[in-house]
Amino acid sequence: MMKPVEQVDPNWAWEPFLATAETPWDMGAAAHLMRRAGFGATGEELRQLMARNPQDVVAELVAAQEPESFQREMASLVRASLASGGPQRLAAQWIYRMLNTPAPLLEKMTLFWHGHFATSAAKVEDSKLMQQQNELLREYALGDFSQLALEISRDPAMLLYLDSATNRKTHPNENYAREIMELFCLGEGNYTEQDIRELARCFTGWEIKREKFRINRYQQDTGEKTVLGRTGELSGEDGVATVVSQHQTARFITRKLVRFLVLDEPRAPDDLIEPLADKLREDGMRIAPTVQRILGSNLFFSMSVRGRKVRSPVEVAIGFLRTLNGSTDAFRLATTLQQLGQGLYFPPSVKGWDGGRTWINSSTLLGRSNLIRNLLGDDKTRFGKQGLEQHLTSQGARSMGEVVAYLETVLFAVPLPDTARQKIAQLADSPGAKENRLRDAVHLLCTIPEFQLA
Amino acid sequence: MSRLLFVIFLLVHAGGGFSIRGDAQASEDGVSEVAKREAVTRDSVDVALLPPTTVLYAELTDPTALISLVFDHPLKQKIEALEPYQSAIQSPGYKSFLFGRAMVETQLQMSWREAVEAFLANRVTVAFDVTTNSPVAIVHGKDAASMKLFSEKLLEFAKLTPNADQIRESEYRGIPVYKIQNVLYGVSDDRMIITNQPDLGREVIDRKLDQGASLLDNPRFDSAWQTRPTDALAWAFADVEVLRAAARKPFEDRINNPVLELLVGGIQSVLAKSAYATAALKGNAEAVSLSLGTPFKADWVPEYREYYFGVDATGRGPAVPEIEETLFEMSTFRDFSEMWLRAGDLFNADVNDGFAQADANLGTLFAGRDFGEEILGSFESEVAVLATRQDFSQLLPRPTLKLPALGAVFQLKQPEKMTRELRRIFQSLIGFLNVVGAMNGQNQLELDMEKLDQNAELVTSSFVPEAGEEESTDAELIFNFSPSIGFSGDRFVIASSASLARELVQAKSDGPSATADNTNGILHANVLQEVLSDNREQLVSQNMLEDGNSREEAEAVIGLLVQVVGYFEAMSIRLTPSDDLLEAELQVRVAP
């Protein structure tokens, strides 16, 4: 019996997951983990995961690092993208990275922070700075949030985006002070306008000159300030530390992580969030232990939260390709993602992407269907370096029935409706090459509402 | 053989009053005339089957030679030795193709090449008739028996397809005619006639059996036919006069695109008057060329386009200075000043608005000088443009993407006056760029001057790297550029790099100062190969992102590209007006 999230016992919720007859550690559970902690996995990868203990799998996902050879390869793509074009080219290399990374959770969390510390190239107009920020987010994606908050507060792209490239003691710029409290750490209602003014004074003298952060000591307000109850001759670093050290920051970040990794709605009750927030503080605001706790928990694997997230456009596209071991034209995909509302390096506002149900409307549903159709129809799209038919055969899916069963396991978070199965069965008897019929079948499956859920 | 005997006959029977040289000349002329007549008669038999209202005509003049050129070319062996080719022939698709080919060979009882050579033995003609608004093809094969065999086998294969029930068989004047879907074909002796229009097919057969007025009676075709090179592999004709008259819209002389105008504006004017156009494909183991030609008279070009060919079409491009590692060179005649000042005649109001705006902006940029009159007008109309590979091995900062340097050589009308003017304008321009660059946080340019000798000097500028980035090996794109100008007597040089400017200023001007062409461009494949190799990492990355390839796959693709480019020597293009002909030629030369 599935319990509504509001009624879940917080102590049970974050306990390490123990497989039961009701919630076994099976292909479905492994696929769920890989969808949320990454961008999906092939059937073969899922079978390998199933042979292991789920806690070990989660620990390995959290600890996974990109090998040096992969980092070198990506650095080369970044160099090429920076040398030959604007942020759209950067988006293509990030897509390539998401498709090929051996550390998918790291990349997923980088995407999370990109939405959290949203900065758009549309305003920054400097690919190099955007990429520097992207690398900063990746470096701290599972690291120390206190340090990440400090680094992002000095990040040239962020400060340019928030019109905070200059901050003089006679005219403190309140933009960044407001956003760090409202959007990055505390949330609305957890600070006062006076706190914003005082924090802005801490940031005086912080400037971006010739694309680099510097402190202009002549413009620093060295006087006494009071921020969130802490009084002293606070510097910018002190200001960030003060904000991050609030217990509300741990709650705010934990809630966002739960929403990103576990469920869009309903809103998790405070008493469900509190134990995780406490642990985050105990862990010195290190993100990795909290993420590991969430991904390895009873609640995460419970049926109550399966399919309770709406896939973002990036999750649709990258998830589709990774699940089918696919590769494609990353430039074209970057453009399509932008059209679908999730342009990488181009979040819509400082609030990032709203996510959840806002991803879906009649227009975006059609766009998502076209995205899959275009991926399937693009002659640059390959599945395991071969055709779809060969790839599915290599995964043991030969007949149309086997194909549907396989795709249901790897691609879907919830069971397929019978109507979809019937439509696919009709395709099995239609004329034409098998490859084309399979592509039609996959496209058909990816147009049903259930596919939009993760 | 008969031609050789005829030569010997003439040599033996020549009158003794002629000198040896005179004898040989007379014999050669005699052979040439007779042989030409024979060739014209032999060549025109298929043309004689086409209606006089044919507006487009193309022929594979010597299919056997063309097949031999493609399949016996030394390049084919090189391509077959490539790893991707070897992989491709192992693919299931290629194996299916081989299986199909073997089936055809068994059916025809000859190898596929023998079959193709027999089928296409004498000529392939394709034409479009304006009266019936339809195309027709005449395949002139080896002999009647071969064509009958091909016709039968074609029918048998058609009967194996799912549309077998749609095949229709009829007869016209004793010739069996088959209709497969919308295509009709019939064989008469050694020719197969293919069309989608029964009337046109019947016309061709009637003409074969009864003769009558044909395309040869079209005076425009006849004129074009006389210019047809005897060594062409393929030749084509377009009846421009009829096409122009048949066009739904009146022929528009204006192009309304300044770049296109510069490239083809003059040609546009010629085509507005010309009666026909021809194309000829020639080739051998060393090169393949495509020549396009049309009748030409200098007075066909209106006064407002005089900038293109010059007065009486006498404008010729200058000799291009010889610079090492030249990737691309172009020599052209264009009076840019005249074109700029005549923009009102050449373009519509929208384009002219753009010109007016550009004129105002450029006036500011060029220190208040009138851009069309005083800046462009200070140069002669002969211009040489070059792109050369840049060697960054000893240079820092080294850009990630290594672009070729670009330079242009002009001749000053008044060097003693304009040298000072242009030097000052360039210095102002660099200052202006620095101000704009500083506002946008971009690197600054540093000016320098260098006296090379009594008559030669350089004014260079180079980007100053940020502190700590002086020795960068993945610097920004701008480090490809060090904009410079140079003077040597009446020669004015402008280049994207100081080193190219220096070389162009110092280049010796040996040989004739002008070419025989209005425009002449050459792309050197060996340097292109080096430029691609310089940017190999960039190209690999681009391929990974664009094709979703792994690094190994992308390296193989780019390696192949670089290798294939190395199989070629150069690609050239030229535009040459003469007294009565305007000719454009595109040539690709294979590396020895």
Q: Which of B114, B128, B115, B271 is CA-nearest to residue B197?
A: B128
Q: Chain B interface, mutation test: which of A74, A96, A393, most B Cβ atoms within 10 Å?
A: A96
Q: How far is B359 from chain A (nearest CA, A)?
A: 29
Tell me the three state secondary structure of residue A297. Answer: strand
**A162 pLDDT above the threshold of 90:** yes
Contacts of B540 in chain A (CB under 8 A): 76
Strands B456-463 and B445-451: antiparallel
* pLDDT score of B31: 44
Contact flag A96-B546 (C-beta cutoff 8 Å): no
What's the pLDDT tens digit per position in B465-505? 988 889 998 898 999 999 999 999 999 999 999 999 999 99
DSSP letter for each residue of B532-550: HHHTHHHHHHHHHHHH---
Q: Point out which residues pair with B193 in neighbouring strands.
A: B138, B186
**For residue B382, what are the CA distances in angstroms to A155, A293, B373?**
53, 76, 17
CB contact under 8 A, A83 and B476: yes
For chain A, what is the radius of gyration of the CA atoms?
A: 23
Substitution target from B398, B545, B552 for chain A, most A beta carbons within 10 A: B545
CA angle A54, A59, A60 (to 5 degrees): 95
**Per-residue model confidence as pLDDT tens digits over A304-341:** 999 999 999 999 999 999 999 999 999 999 999 999 99
| CA separation for the pair B504, B526 (Å, rounded) | 21
Closest-CA distance of chain A to residue B436, Å: 14
* A5 closest CA partner among A271, A339, A186, A220: A271
Average pLDDT, chain A: 95
How far is the C-alpha of A262 from the C-alpha of A309, rounded, in Å? 7
Please name the residue of chain B whose CA is at the shortest distance from the CA of residue A330: B545
Q: Rounded to the nearest 5 degrees, what angle is found at the Cα of B21, between the Cα atoms of B17 and B23?
A: 50
CA end-to-end distance (rounded Å), chain B: 32
Count Cβ atoms below 10 Å from residue B439 Cβ, excluding itself.
8
Whether omega for the bond prior to residue B295 falls within 30 degrees of 0, making it cis, is no
Reported pTM: 0.84
Tokens 């053989």 label which residue? B1
Residue A237 belongs to some domain of the structure: no
- Are B547 and A329 within 8 A, CB to CB? yes
Q: Report CA A254 to chain centroid distance, whole Å.
A: 14
Q: Do B544 and A77 touch (CB under 8 A)?
A: yes
pLDDT at B410: 96
Q: Which member of A92, A210, A385 has the closest CB to residue B545?
A: A92
Q: Residues A7-24: what's their mean pLDDT?
A: 94
Q: Give the residue from chain A lying closest to B479, CA to CA.
A: A83
CA–CA separation, B297 vs B305, rounded Å? 14
Residue B396: C-alpha distances to residues B399, B463, B568 (Å): 8, 11, 32
Q: List residues of B whose CB lies inside 8 A of any A CB.
A: 399-401, 441, 466, 474, 476-477, 537-538, 540-542, 544-549, 551, 553
Domain that holds residue A368: 313-452
Q: Residue B438: closest CA among chain A residues belongs to which residue?
A: A210
Indicate the length of chain B as a whole number: 592
Average pLDDT over every residue of B12-26: 35
Residues B547-585 have pLDDT tens digits of 999 999 999 999 999 999 999 999 999 999 998 999 999
Nearest to A255 by CA among A274, A237, A238: A274
Nearest to A79 among B400, B548, B551 (CB): B400
Average pLDDT over residues A161-182: 94
Chain A, chain B: beta-carbon pairs less than 8 Å apart:
62
Is B21 a residue whose pLDDT tops 60? Answer: no
A313: preceding bond cis by omega (within 30 degrees): no
CB A283 within 8 A of CB A254: no
A227-276 pLDDT, tens per residue? 999 999 999 999 999 999 999 999 999 999 999 999 999 999 999 999 99
Strands (E), B183-233: 183-188, 191-195
CB atoms within 10 A of CB B203: 23
Please give the structure tokens belonging to residue A343: 């342009």
Phi/psi-derived region of residue B235, left when phi > 0, alpha when psi is between -120 and 50, beta in every other case: beta
Main-chain phi, psi angles of B390, to 5 degrees = -100, 135
pLDDT band at A142 (very low <50, low <70, confident <90, very high): very high
Mean pLDDT of B176-203: 93
Total structural domains within chain A: 1
- Out of A80, A326, A382, whose CB is closest to B542? A80
SS3 label, residue A352: coil
Which residues, 6+ apart, have CB-to-CB distance to A310 below 8 Å? A264, A355, A356, A357, A359, A360, A452, A453, A454
Angle at A258 between CA A254 and CA A263, to 5 degrees: 160
- Domain assignment present for residue A442? The answer is yes
Per-residue pLDDT band for B78 (boundaries 50, 70, 90) equals: confident
Please report which confidence band the pLDDT of residue B41 belongs to, taking 50, 70 and 90 as the band edges: low
CA-based nearest residue in chain B for residue A380: B547
Pairwise CB contact (< 8 Å): A327 & B538? no
**What is the radius of gyration, based on Cα positions, of chain B?**
30
Which residue shows structure tokens 């909290």? A290
Q: What is the pLDDT of residue A282?
A: 97
Annotate B379-417 with three-state secondary structure.
ECCEEEEEEECCCCCCCCCCECCCCCEEEEEEEECCHHH
Q: Which residues have CB under 8 Å from A363's CB, separation 6+?
A: none
Q: Do B545 and A99 touch (CB under 8 A)?
A: no
In whole angstroms, give the CA distance from residue A107 to residue A104: 5
How large is the ipTM? 0.92
Main-chain dihedrals φ then ψ at residue A424, nearest 5 degrees: -65, -40
Whether B466 sits inside 8 A of A80 (CB atoms) is no
| Residue B5: pLDDT over 50 | no
Contacts of B152 by beta carbon, 8 Å cutoff, 6+ apart: none
Task: Measure the CA–CA gap between A246 and A351, rounded to whole angstroms.
Answer: 21
Res B199 pLDDT > 80: yes
Residues of B in contact with A385 (CB under 8 A): 553
Does residue A353 sit within a domain? yes
B473: nearest CA partner in chain A: A79
Q: Residue A2 has what pLDDT?
A: 66
Q: Which of B190, B189, B239 is nearest to B52 (CA)?
A: B239
> Which helix (DSSP H) or strand (DSSP E) does residue B123 occupy?
strand B123-129
| Residues B100, B175: Cα–Cα separation, whole Å | 30
Cβ contacts of B542 on chain A, cutoff 8 Å: 80, 84
d(CA B289, CA B325): 24
Q: Which residues of B touch A81 (CB under 8 A)?
A: 541, 545
A71 neighbors A424 (Cβ within 8 angstroms): no
Rounded Cα distance, B178 and B180, in Å: 6
Choose from A69, A71, A72, A84 for mutation: most chain B CBs within 10 A: A84
Write down the domain spans for chain B: 1-47, 48-216, 298-335+381-581
Percent of chain B with pLDDT over 90: 69
Q: Which residues contact A451 (CB under 8 A, 6 or more apart)?
A: A311, A316, A411, A412, A445
- Residue B348 · residue B261 · CB < 8 Å: no
Query: For residue B490, how far is the Cα from the chain centroid?
Result: 33
pLDDT band at B29 (very low <50, low <70, confident <90, very high): very low
pLDDT band at B510 (very low <50, low <70, confident <90, very high): low
Q: Which residues contact B111 (CB under 8 A, 6 or more apart)?
A: B105
Nearest to B225 by CA among B278, B270, B187, B262: B278
Residue A358 in any domain: the answer is: yes
pLDDT surpassing 80 at residue A428: no
Instruction: Collect all residues with Cβ–Cβ distance below 8 Å to A371 and sequence separation of at least 6.
Output: A313, A316, A317, A336, A340
Compare CB distances from B441 to A83, A210, A327 and report the shortest one's residue: A210
Q: Does residue A46 form part of some domain? A: no
Q: Which residues contact B479 (CB under 8 A, 6 or more apart)?
A: B397, B398, B399, B463, B465
Whether residue B565 contacts residue B589, with contact meaning beta carbons closer than 8 Å, is answered with no
Partners of A83 on chain B (C-beta within 8 Å) are 399-401, 474, 476-477, 538
Please answer yes or no on whether A83 and B477 come within 8 Å at the CB atom: yes
Look at B441 and A80 and tell me if their CB atoms are within 8 Å: no
How far apart (Å, rounded) are the C-alpha atoms in residues B187 and B152?
10
**Averaging pLDDT over each range in B10-19, B307-316, B508-517, which range is the top one?**
B307-316
Side chain identity, residue B535: N
Query: How close B435 comes to chain A (CA, Å)?
Result: 15
**A71 CA: distance to closest CA in chain B (Å):** 13
Average confidence (pLDDT) over B387-391: 96
Q: Which of B427, B315, B320 is nearest to B380 (CA)?
A: B315
